[in-house]
Amino acid sequence: MLTKLAGGNALYGCYGLAVAIFSLGIFRDFLYERALRAQPSHPLLETTLATYIAYALIGAGNVLVLSSMWALGITGTYLGDYFGILMDHMVTGFPFSVTDAPMYYGSTMSFLGTAVLFGKPAGILLTAEVLIVYLIALRFEDPFTAGIYQKRADRQNKSSKKEL
């Protein structure tokens, strides 16, 4: 449907989705920050050590997210495979050499770091919910993505056999 809205151009459809997802992510982060500010703080989360841990989580989380975006590009990051835009090869270098889902885990680390930085236990609970949603999404996303690339490999094998 997005491809149709983009005049039949899958690349433009993917870019449109990228703009929507990115914009909604900024709005989500704004709402998260506002919600955290309205919650009570806990003294154990207002220590110097907690602040260092928070910045480490935010920093490491952002490194995972940004480096995976760099490695995947726009179409790899924003569901290009759903539009039939596949990468030539699976990305296995950093950050995918550290974890198979660096965006999800990096985002979770950033949410957790922000909750700790603000000293808000409610943010830690919300981060746990975010992680659960991400883990559920991976149960569907990973097999779907693997299936798309397997179909392409099967088509390439069939065409190479025909050429022989």
pLDDT digits (tens, 9 = 90+) for 24-71: 999 999 999 999 999 999 999 999 999 999 999 999 999 999 999 999
Of 49 and 145, the one with more pLDDT: 49
**Identity (one letter) of the amino acid at 70?**
W
Q: Which of 83, 88, 75 is nearest to 8 (CA)?
A: 83
Contact 123, 80 (CB under 8 A): no
- Output the pTM of the full model: 0.84
CA distances from 27 to 17, 21, 65, 85 (A): 15, 10, 17, 27
Structural domain including 12 reads 2-163
Q: Which of 107, 93, 111 is nearest to 35 (CA)?
A: 111
Flag the least confident range among 2-6, 14-18, 72-76, 134-138.
2-6
Tokens standing for residue 8 = 């039949």
Contact 86, 150 (CB under 8 A): no
Tokens standing for residue 109 = 């680390």
Q: Is the peptide bond before 95 cis (omega within 30 degrees of 0)?
A: yes
Number of domains in the chain: 1
